[in-house]
Each structure stands twice: as structure tokens, then as C-alpha cells.
Structure 1
Amino acid sequence: MLIQDRYRLIQLIGKGGFCKTYLAVDENQFPPVPCVVQQLSLRYQTSEAFIYKAQQLKILDQHPQIPSLIAYFQDEQSCYLVQEFIAGSNLEILLQAEDAFSENQIWQLLTDILPVIKFIHDRQIIHCNIKPENIIFTDSKKFVLVDFAATQIFSEINQWMSKDCIGSPEYSAPEQTKGKAVFASDLYSLGVTCIHLMTQISPFDLYDIANDCWVWQQYLSTTVSDRLTKILTKLLHKASRDRFQSADEVMLAMGIDSCSSPSLSTSQPPQPLWKCIHTLQGIGNVNTEIHSLAFSPDGKILASGDEKIIKLWNLSTQKLINTLSGHSQAVKSVNFSPDGKILASASDDRTIKLWNIHTSQEICTLVGHSHAVKSVAFSPNGQILASGSWDKTIKLWDVNTGKEISTITGHQLQVNSVAFSPQGQILASASLDRTVRLWELLTNDVLFASHEITKEFKNRPNCTLLGILSGHSWAVLTVAFSPDGKILATGSDDNTIKLWQVNTGQVITTLLGHSWSVLAVAFTIDGTMLISASRDRTVKLWQVSTAKEIATLSGHADSVSTVAVSQAAQLIASASKDKTIKLWQLAQQES
């Protein structure tokens, strides 16, 4: 069975009252990539509730012991969650193949899985189906928690978004079976999982109904320490108020520091060395959302693109110099030519415009894309302009003539961002198809000789595809090369930033810290620092050599749409849906 013309269902691997789980492959990848597809009946939830649930589950992608949510969609009868395939064996299979778990193995399970449960609960999500079949022991000797189809999500307005807490009866807490799951319900299920693993007996048979108590200790083949017995006993209390109330409480009883895991640390990052020195806002009543920013090469001008207008700001006075009008829809990208004489702007109106900075007049309009243009970038010599569009293509334009040179195709979905390498030989493009593609352009001799460009490309209409970078679990929204051209940074809807080795296409590291989509990334001129902007309302600064977060710049009241770094001065600009631009500077530089 093929769904979405993409996911081939291979084998039914799980079935519950409202959910079927399939092993599948993504046939849009080559070679096809294994994944897990969960089919949920719409009888148990509304379409709106499913979409909200999927959006919240996406937040869990940050944790390495939770499978990534790759996609979600629905048809008339069912909803579908497509998740990362985790290689390994679930604990029920291991239990059948081997002896009962030892006390040491139970300690290892608790030590590994409690931080995962804490991570989920901290994000107001309850799993509702913790059991041996949903915990996978991987080849790297880690426990991974899977199957989030039955999760409940807490809303301050509506409390639990769904009242039907469907789980596995053998492992469900008493209150959960009545539709009133609490966070401690997951801890109860974890306790039941532990006693089943130690006894190899069904939980139904481990409970004495007549005396209303657990009798799991009678089935142990070896004795268990008083310490573990006390912890399990408290996990298994019938009344939720008598149980551990949080994963933190269990870890405290075990002597584990709940903040010891880097991915779960609640400690604050170092205090930022940068501070906001000025906030630029619209003039008079003209206050609109800003979508794009760019510094001029000399650092004297900041260009900003909003709903239709481009504004030019004098950075020494923080005053508006001029406005450039001509686009009929939002300006999603602005970029200065390397010599600072030309500004390129890309718009949702499907056009690109070139502007003379000295006269503030339009030079020409580049027409050819069939959908919104989201990104423009100049080649290092300023002769070529690249544009990325939601028509799934990249176009190359001759800046001197305004003529289209070539159309590059290959992405399966919309193109969000394009960037040239500092040497001008490689073009990177980022797309909603979750990939980044690297394209090899002409040699420098041909690329930088404008009178030869059109003739050369007539015989070679497309660039050579060097490689496809896959690793993000959601749309890739932004891309930037380091100043030496050796590292590529990408930001994604999966809340992460990845650093890639350009020559090998391998991931160097993944930067975790943003709690929502990463919309923009930019390197400082020396390449030592990366700047990122996110829908989580923050700008973050990262040290490239260590992949550590240096600082978080907070102050915007809404999603930060874009960020720019001045190469002439140590100055960062960020723009937000809150309709402001903030200028940030190193605090120690102030006189």
C-alpha cells in the first residue's frame, strides 16, 4: 500500500483500538529509507486536535531518545504520523529471547528512560502508553521511547486536549483507564513495565484482585534490594497522590542529578556579551512586519524588506534614509552586491528587483519564477544573482544585463534559501523537501567573465549536482557558508541547526537550543561565531569550534524572522514579526 505517493507500507507491526503501526519505506528517498507510519482513526479525535497534537509532538524531536516526527497528514478516514525508524529490539522481544531482567538491568532502564519522561512532561505531554513494546534497546545500548499515538497534551485553557486516554490496559494507571490521566500515570506504567521485565509474568497476573495489592515479589527468581523495592512500590501505588509525582522525584530517590544530561539541562546559558543598542521601528503609523535584512558591505546602511516596501537605514544615526517602492507583495529577501552599489530584492509577487543604491532608483525587474521568490544571493564577484523560489527552482541571472542564465531543477518541494560559497564555485539551496543541495557552477574564469556567461550556459543549461545533504527531519529554511567555505550551516523547522563539512557532505554537529523553527543563520566575518534566529523569539550566538551556545539575545515580542551580521563592524541586526528591528553590539565596545 502506497500513501501520499511516497510512503510504502511494508508490514503491520502493531495494532491497538484506534491505531495501526506499520513498518514502511520512504520511496522519495534513494535508496528508500525505512520509517514507521501510524494510522489513527478519526473517530477518536477531530482533525484540528490531530494537527495540534502533531505540532506539539514535533517539539520532542530535540531529544536523541525519541524518534523524529518526519511528517503528518490525513485523509477522509484516518490521520497519519510518519516517524523515524529506530533500529533495535523492543524490551518485550528481548524478554522473550532472554531471561528475566536483572536488578542491574532495571537500574539501567530507569537511569536511561526517566530523563526522557522528564523531557516529555516538561513540555506538557503525557505519553499514556509506556510498556515494554514501546521501549527499544538500540545497538548503541540506549533505551528509546517510541509510539506517541496515544499521547495527551495539556492546555491551560482546555486542560487535557482529549479526554479519551487510550493505552494498554495491562500497564495503564487506574485513573488513566477512567480517562483522567496525570503525569504520574506514566510513572505507574514505567513501574509495571519494570516488574513485568523482572518476572516475565503478565501484569494482570501480578496483581491480587482479592486483596487489592501487587504480588510481583512472589514471582522473582532472585532477591531484589530494598532500595529498588521501595522505588517500585511507590511507582505502583494505586492512588496517584501516593506515587512519585514527577520523574525528578524518582531520580532524586535514585541519587541521579536530573540536570546532569546536557540535553536536559535547565541551567541558563552564559550571560550575553551583546546588548540591544537601538530598536528601529516604522515611521509614524507605518509599522509593518519585517521579513528580510542586509547590511551594506561598508557597514553604513541597513536594508530591510517588509510587506511591500524596502527601507534603507543610516546606521550611524539610526534614521531612515529612503524607501524603495515597487513590489506588490511581501519582500522576503534583500541582498547587497559585493561592491555595495546594487541591492537585490525578492518578493512573494514572483519578481526580483535590482536597485541603484546611489540614486535609490530601480534598475530592472527580473521575471521568470512562477511562484513566490524567497531568497536572492550575489556571487562573490557580483556578476551572477541566484534566486530560490516556491516554484521548486533556482534561477541564475546575469546582473549586468538582467537576463536569465539558467534554471536549476531538482528539489521536490519549495526552495527557501540560496547561498554562494565564498569562492563562487558552489551554490547551496535549502528546501521544504528537507534537503540541502550543493551545485557546482562554472570555473572561475568563465563564471567571472560576464560576456561569456550566456553563451556558456546555452550549452550547459544546468549546474552539476555535487550532492544532497539529508539529515533534517523537517523543512530546511535557511543556509549559509562559513567565510572560508569549509562549513555549511542550515536551520530547519525541526528546531535544529546543522553544521556540515562542505567537501564531504557529512554532518559535523547538530546545535540544539531553539524551541521552535530556525528561520535564519549567519556567520561572523572571522567564522568563529554563528548567529541564528528562531520563531521562539530569540537570537542565539554559537561558538563554531566547540558547537556551544555562547548567548541568547532576548527582547523581541514575537517570532524573529531574519538576522544579519555586519562584516565591517561587530553589529548584529534582527527583525521580528513584532514589527521592530533590533541592533545588537558587544557591550564592552560601548564608550
Structure 2
Amino acid sequence: MILCLNPTCSQPRNPDQGKFCMACGQPLVLDDRYIVRQVLHQGTKGRTLLGIDRGTFPESYCILKQIFLTQSVQAQQFVETFQENAARLKTLGDRPEFPTVLGLFLPEHWHQITIPPTLVFEKIAGESLRQRLDLMGPFSETKLREFLQDILPLVQLIHDHGLIHRDLNPDNLLFTPAQHWAIVDFTAAKVTSKMASAEPGTLIGSGIYTAPEQLRGQSYPGSDLYSLGVICLELLTSIHPFDLYSVRENRWVWRDYLTTPISNNLGHLLDQMLAEAVGDRPQSAQAILDQLFPTARPVTPKPIPRVAPEPPQIISLIEPSPVPQWYCFRTFTGHHAYITALQFAPDGQFLASAAADQTIRLWDLDRRRESRCLRGHRGIISGLAFWGDRLISGSWDYTIRLWNWQQGEQTACLQKRSTWIQGLACWEKTGQLATLGADQEIVVWDLTTQKILYTFTASGAQLIRASQGNNQLWLAQGNHLTCYEQGQSVQTLPEHQGDILDFQVSADGQFLISIATDQTLKIWPLASDYTPKILRPVIPFTQLAIAPSQRFFAGGDRQGNLSLWQLGQEQPFVTLAAHSSEIKAIAIAPDSQIIATAAADKTIKLWRFGIQ
């Protein structure tokens, strides 16, 4: 399939052998060499296309950048700036750290433009900095210094060639298979649009990463250093920069979100890079290197031999290059009714599942098969929890059972209830278990002695969760959440506008996430003023899980979709079509590397991040 080069074409898809678009009649091959396979991104200023360079042997991938003209841009001025930008990019030389400019194409008739001005780049394969952050978590100070030692010489080289990138962000920094960093997306629009952006308020760049002066239509080398400073904050905290800036205080508050301390010198340097005034920032990338490594000599990027371009698979192009992503690597079947609960063993090597078929099944993740089936309950199993080498289950048969799951033996049966078990929550360190009955009575057990410690009633309670960080118990009661200590209510959070469908407490007890029928998702900070961050997912969730690393959380919906969110982001960073029916349970492995989902279709799927 070849896509039409005309961005306004109504039917852009054409057969591989086509020369002209069947819908609009425009040529499909640019310069008898470049064709388009996929639209990677489209915005108001232009679009990015994945193409094939037929002029190489074997054929290779390329990137086409098309620039949309605005009414405030004069054609002659545009041509001069566009050509100047391409010429400056070419002066970077044939270096593998930057994409090579392959061609520059301008319209023949400016009064009637169908194919916009187009710049063709070599495509550099690699894993983006954002992908590495999602996979590995926050950077330590040592790791951040190593990153800056690699990337700052490249920024200095760009500035030495009279260029300002103006869109540095984690998506435009790639770590290549050759084990070096590359800077990509030198979009011509970043230069040509400065004519259109002379009016204050026009955004050049990527939102929060953009230096304040760029909003006023001005760019300096220091603008790139500001963007790099924002990137550093995200690397240290693994939190989106929007949540690291306090609008109320009009300042960056990133230190409040550090998971490990950093040196005063590095903190002061980052504050300098983020200064509002350009003159208050370091004057060059080399100046930052001099502060980071005061005894080192000026760093110049070492020449790296260029690797031959990767030949594409023309017939079936799904991904432009093999990049890590979340994918399903195993599907388990065995239950005969819908699955009600999932729980990973503490070592992460086994997964327990419970279902309405009254069985518990243990799955060996290394061998990728069912390890054991536990039978004994005479009703739907409503909850699971691991406690040391024991597995705990609660059921509609009014019982709580303890299992030596590795041997497949039941070791105890706790039966005080006069109604079915609706949910359970275990404090692993103290060995206490709380159970919620359909009669809304909560019973707290000592698992070691198997004796009841205390009971209390919570009107309207339908969900129960234990806070591992402080031995508190949280209950969803209709449309609000209440925290209990020793059976006494100590905190009630403001109400949702609808009944709560699910909620989860973070591993350290510092925040809580809830989803309700009002289609809002709320992230509650439990260590501060309890003011929630409110999100409105496009597809409302019914199930939630927080990664033990606390770097992301997962949501499942009634359509079978699995969405993954980073804390602080407004939208999920990935949504996967996981199941053919409603997701009933989600669990995340202790190392946060594997996600398990279960659905009404009676299947369990395992997901991980990597190259499929």
C-alpha cells in the first residue's frame, strides 16, 4: 500500500504498483524515489510520514516532514528560510547521531499547493528516552550525569552549526542499536514557523518542555537548555513535568517528588537551566558540562561509524522498526466460568486465579502452564491474597480458607460468617486479615492464631482494601471512600457523583486511585490535603491496579481494553485490545514487569514490555 502525498486527499490509500493517486491524481512517488507507507503524526503545523527510499539498495526507511503553510507566511520568505534550514541541517555532516537530510522539495505553483513543502530525512532506529524511562523507572543522579555527558555534546554541536532544535523532549532522543544517543525531529517547521509565531502565544515545541520565550516567538540556544532541564526533572522523578510545576506558587516543585536524594550541585544546576530569563541560564551546553565535570576537558562527540540502513519489509509493514512495546506473551485457559480474582505470588513466579467455577488455579510463569488446581469451596470465590507461603481465599460459601498452595493442601478453614464473603484484604507484615461480608460487617482476623481480633459494621460497604504502608483499612461505601483504624473511621474522602466501581491503594499508602459510575477517575494524595487530581477517561474503567513500582497504573473496561497510565498524565500512554469481553481482574507482578488480565471470556492474558 502507498499513501498519497496530498494531506487533504479523501482516499489516500493506493496499491503498491500505482504511480498516481486514484482519488486526487497526485503523483505517489516523490522525485521518482520516495513513497509513503504510514502517517506517524499529524498536527496543525505539519505531519510526519514513514516512507521508503527506493533509491538505496536494499530499499530503506526514511522520514518525510511536510510543512503546512499559514496565511501569515509569505511564500518567498518561507522558501528562503526553509532552504536555509535544510542547508544548516546538512552541515551537521554524515553523523549517525543526527538524521541525514536526503531531499528538499518545494511546490512548483505556490498559488495552488496540493503537496506541501517536504523535507526527507534518513530514519534512525532506536528506543526513545520516554520508552526507556517507562521501562526502567526514575534515573539516579549517577545515571542522569551519564546521560547528560552523552547528550550535551550533541546539543553543543547543533548550536555550533547555527541551529536551535526547539523541540527537545523524551520522544526526540533515541538510544540506537549501536548503543549511542541520537537527536531526531529537526522539523523545518520549527524554523519556518518563527515567522508565523512572532505573535505572542504561538506555541513552538512540545508543551511543558518549551522554554517561555518560545511562547513569545523568540528562540535562543538557551531555549534548548531549558527543555533539557525539564527532561532531567522527568528522568529523576518519572513524573510528567505538568505535575512538577506549581501554578499556584509559579515555580517548579520537583524536589517534592524525588524518590532518592541528589547533590546540591546538581540541584542548583537544574534550577539554573530552568530559569525564566534566558540570561540567567547556563550560556551553552559546554558550560553545563563544565559544571558537571569541572576537571574534564571540553567534550567533542567521537565519530561513530554509520551503520548501513535497515532494509524494509515492503509487502507487510506493520511497525517501522522493531521497538519495545507492551504485548501479550501468554494466554491461559482452564477455568469454566468467569474469573473473579488474580494475585501474583510474592516471588512473582506464580499467578493465582479464582473463578465462579469454585476453583483456584496456580500458573507457573516460567513454564507457562497450569501448575495446580485447588478445590474445596462450594461457592463463587470472591477474593485472593498471599501471606507468606500461604494463599488465602474467600467465597460465597461463607468460608475463608488457607492453602499451602505449593503442596496443593488446605491448611485451615475460618468460618464465622453467616453470609457470603464479598471481599478480603490482608496486611502481609502484621499477618492480619480483614473480610467484608454481604451483611456489611467487617471481621479482622489474626492469621497466626486464627482468632478474631475485632469486628465492626460499615453501612453500604462494597469494596475493601488494605493500606500496607500504615495498617489502615479503606472501604468504598456507595459513592465515597472511608479510612478505618481499629474499626474507627478516621478519614472520609469527598464524594464521587456516582457509585465507586473500584479503587486501589498504593504500596506505600501515599495515594489512592478510584473510578466511579460518574466516569471520573480520581487520584487522591493521602499524605497531603486529600485534593484529588480528576481525570475523565475516554472509555470508563471498571477495574484498576497500581504497579508496585508506582510508576504507572492499569485500567480495564467493559469492552475488554487494557489502558496504562503514568501518574500525572491526562491520557493513557498505551491502550491494548486485551480481551473480547469485560475485564474482571488485573494484577501486576511485584517487579512491575508483567501485567495479568482476566475477563468474562474465561481467559487470562500476560503482558510485558519488550520486543515481540
**TM-score, structure 1 length as denominator?**
0.47
**TM-score, structure 2 length as denominator?**
0.45
